Amino acid sequence: MALLGAVLVIAGLVGLVYTGVATLTSMLLFGWLLLIGGAVGLLHAVQSRGEGYFWLAVVVAALNIAAGVVVIRHPVESAEALTMFAALLFLTGGVFRLVGSVVVRGPQFGWTLLQGAFGLLLGLLVLFGWPRSSLYVLGTFFSLALLFDGLGLVAIGVGGRRIVRLVSAKVSEEGPDRSVT
């Protein structure tokens, strides 16, 4: 796990340096996942022809295949569209958190207010820089996700190894359990 985590950390750091490449890579990966998921969904729909949801499954699979083809053929434009969507999500999430924190005034009022202001600010920064921001925003998010997932795996791998070592030392100190015969 620690080795996989180290690979993800390196990939995340490289992605943060080359955010444009990371953006295009994430778009192509997303397109291929849509395409493959659509093909698998279509196969599943064909296998379940007699079920009541057959046509719904075919339509969903066809939409996934079509979206995958569009994303693969036009990754830059797809990145622009997804960046606009992300900016709008940050904006609406920020506004809802700001309003919610003021209306509810719960025990976490300050943190919720800060989180809402941060979401609103992030959405505005991405939106005001659009479409230029689409060249680096998704790549940055993708790379940060790789980096933090990798750090988590490294921590789990190192911590797990330490726990195994402690348990092994404790068992060797006490000797084998002779109470069970």
Percent residues over pLDDT 90 in the chain:
59
Residues 6+ apart with CB under 8 A from 115: 94, 97
Report the chain's C-alpha Rg in angstroms: 24
Q: How confident is the model at residue 170 (pLDDT cuts 50, 70, 90)?
A: confident
pLDDT band at 178; cut points 50, 70, 90? low
Residue-wise pLDDT tens digits, 22-70: 999 999 999 999 999 999 999 999 998 888 888 999 999 999 999 999 9
Residue 52 DSSP one-character state: T
Chain segment 99-158, per-residue pLDDT in tens: 988 898 888 888 888 999 999 999 999 999 988 888 888 899 889 999 999 999 998 888
Is the pLDDT assigned to residue 75 strictly greater than 70? yes
- The average pLDDT across 59-88 equals 95
For residues 146-159, one letter each, b for 16 or more C-beta atoms within 10 angstroms of the residue's C-beta and e for the rest, the string is: bbebbeebbeebee
Mean pLDDT across 4-25: 92
